Amino acid sequence: MKCQYCDKPATFHITEVIGEGGPKVLHLCEQHARNVLQKEEPSPIASIAGALAKQLQLGQTKEELRQLDQKACPVCGITFFEFRNSGRLGCPMDYTHFESDLSPLLVNIHDSLEHAGKRPRRAAATAETQGDLIRLRKQMEEAVVREDYELASELRDRINAMQNTPGPSSRGLVSGGEDVSGVSRSDIPGSDSEADDADAGDGGNDDAPGEVA
Partner 1 sequence: MREVADLSILAQGSGEWLRGTGPESDIVISSRIRLARNLAGFPFIRKCSPEDRGQIERQVRQRLQTLPGWDDIQYVDIDALSEVDRQFLVERQLISREIAESEGSRAVAIDPKEQYSVMINEEDHLRIQVMHSGLDLDSAWEQIDQLDDAIEGEVLYAFHPRFGYLTACPTNVGTGLRVSVMLHLPGLVITQQIEKVFRSMQRINVTVRGLYGEGSQYTGDFYQVSNQVTLGRSEPTLLKMVGDEVVPRIIDYERKARDFLVEKGHQDLHDDVSRALGILSTARKITSEETMHYLSKVRMGVNLGLIENVAVDTINKLFIHTQPAHLQKLHGRVLTTSDRNVQRASYLQRHLLGPKGRPDELN
Query: Of residues 105-134, which lie at the interface with partner 1 (CB under 8 A)?
Result: 105-106, 109-125, 127, 129-130, 133-134
Q: Which stretch binds partner 1 (CB under 8 A): 12-20, 53-61, 63-71, 148-156?
A: 12-20
Residue 85 as a binder of partner 1 (CB under 8 A): the answer is no
Q: What is d(CA 18, CA 4) in angstroms, rounded to the nearest whole number?
A: 18
Residue number, 59 or 209, with CB nearest to partner 1: 209
Beta-ladder partners of 52: none
Query: Binder to partner 1 among 90, 97, 153, 156 (CB under 8 A)?
Result: 90
Q: Are 58 and 31 in contact (CB under 8 A)?
A: no
Residue number, 65 or 107, with CB nearest to partner 1: 107
Query: Binder to partner 1 among 8, 53, 182, 193 (CB under 8 A)?
Result: 182
Applying CB under 8 A, the site for partner 1 has a residue count of 89
Residue 141 as a binder of partner 1 (CB under 8 A): the answer is yes
What are the backbone angles phi and psi of residue 79, rounded to the nearest 5°?
Answer: -95, 160
Q: What is d(CA 120, CA 129) in angstroms, rounded to the nearest whole number?
A: 17
DSSP 3-state assignment of 97? helix
117 residue type, one letter: G
Q: Which stretch binds partner 1 (CB under 8 A): 10-18, 54-62, 64-72, 147-155?
A: 10-18
155 residue type, one letter: L
Residue number, 168 or 190, with CB nearest to partner 1: 168
Burial of 66 (0-12, 13-18, 19+ CB in 10 A): exposed
Instruction: Kindly identify the residues of this chain, within the stretch 38-67, that bind partner 1 according to CB under 8 A.
Output: 38-42, 44, 47-48
Residue number, 41 or 63, with CB nearest to partner 1: 41
Convert residues 193-212 into a mask of x (bound to partner 1 by CB under 8 A) and - (unbound).
Answer: -x--xx-xxx-xx--xxxxx
Smallest separation, CB 140 to partner 1 (Å): 9
Residue 148 as a binder of partner 1 (CB under 8 A): the answer is no
Residue partners of 126: CB distance under 8 A and separation at least 6:
174, 175
Of 156, 194, 196, residue with least CA distance to 177:
156
**End-to-end alpha carbon distance in the chain:** 36
